[in-house]
Amino acid sequence: MEGIIFAFITVLAWCSWVAPSQNVPLKGQQTRTFYTSTAVLILGVIIAAVFGFKGLNSETFFGPVIGGLVWAVSCWFAFVGVSKIGMAKAFGIWAPMNVIVGIIWGIVLRGEFIDTSTQNKLIAIVAILVMLGGIVLIVFSGDSSKSKVSKKERIYGLLGTAGAGIGFASYFIPINMATDGHADFTMWVGTFPLGIGMFIGSIILVALSKSSLKLEKGKHYPLILLSGVLWAIGNYGALVMMKPENLGTGQGFAVAQLCMVVNALLGIYLFKTPEPRSRAANITIIGVLIAAVGGAIFGYFVTN
């Protein structure tokens, strides 16, 4: 029952973390990244304090900080993608890309899946092809009549989304390299130095772009901070959901693919990008469903 409860929490949080700040008017996505990172850091400090900062030392601290720097840039890429092509398309592209890039990193850095059975390799190839098929559909789904974007904006959006797809799959590399062999280290505490890296990375982005941290209205501050809180809640929920005694990594990974579907529905029916019931919206939903199925197949059959 605990696994199911935290699966629900994870899906609910990760499928909606981008949404709260989307109607907050900003000139640059660096500011959105700053407040999102700030919220993650604050929650990370609170949770780590509860655990007594157990497992953090000179060896395990700086890997998550570097990972946080990568995450901050990835988050900025994600917000650029969402601002240009919409939440449904952006999330629907970068989420399956996370899986594919993660598989590549696993093979290159750890030799994962090389010694697995031929059946698992075939299933993995099929899953990747299915995810790629979903991504292609989303990329070429077009725009609805009420959500036209210029070719230049579309290219920027796709590049930003691709950057998020690569970055969100890569920020765990320095964390894993620094914490391998440290059995007492967990991301419950590790999210604290991760948040520090996010915060530093977001400050650098703001400084380089000379973006203002001032928002137009006071009510915008809690909205934009909520994005970071939701991401962090999803992160902690996933840690519990994927425990061996709950759903485990494979089933938990498969459940997490639901985030793509729910996020697409929110993007289309709440933010109307693309316009609901338009050809672009219908193809986007189909592409997201296909990509989610591919991710679920890989998670359930290959990582179990």
CA 130 to chain centre: 20
pLDDT attached to residue 144: 66
Distances (CA, A) of 75 to 24, 33, 116, 171: 16, 6, 33, 11
Q: What is the pLDDT of residue 243?
A: 73
Which residue range forms the structural domain that includes residue 61? 2-302
pLDDT of 3 reads 74
What is the three-class DSSP state of 292?
A: helix
Cα–Cα distance measured from residue 88 to residue 92, given in angstroms and rounded to the nearest whole number: 6
Distance of CA 257 to the CA centre of its chain: 11
Residue 7 pLDDT: 82
Cα of 238 vs its chain's centroid, Å: 12
Please identify which residue in the block is written with the tokens 């590049």: 159
Rounded to whole angstroms, how far apart are CA atoms 13 and 229? 9
Mean pLDDT split into 10-residue runs, the chain, 304 residues: 80 88 90 97 96 93 97 97 93 92 87 83 92 95 70 93 95 92 91 97 97 94 96 90 70 74 90 90 95 88 70
pLDDT of residue 42: 97
Calpha distance 106→41 (Å, rounded): 28
Q: Give the DSSP H/E element, type plus range, for residue 141.
A: none
d(CA 145, CA 153): 16
139 torsion bin: left (phi>0), alpha (psi -120 to 50), beta (else): alpha
Q: How far apart are CA 167 and CA 94, in angstroms?
A: 9
- R_g (Cα) of the chain, nearest Å: 19
Would you state the pLDDT for residue 1? 66
How many domains are contained in the chain? 1
Residues shown for the chain: 304
Tell me the C-alpha distance between 246 and 237, whole Å. 12
Q: Do 105 and 238 touch, CB atoms closer than 8 A?
A: no
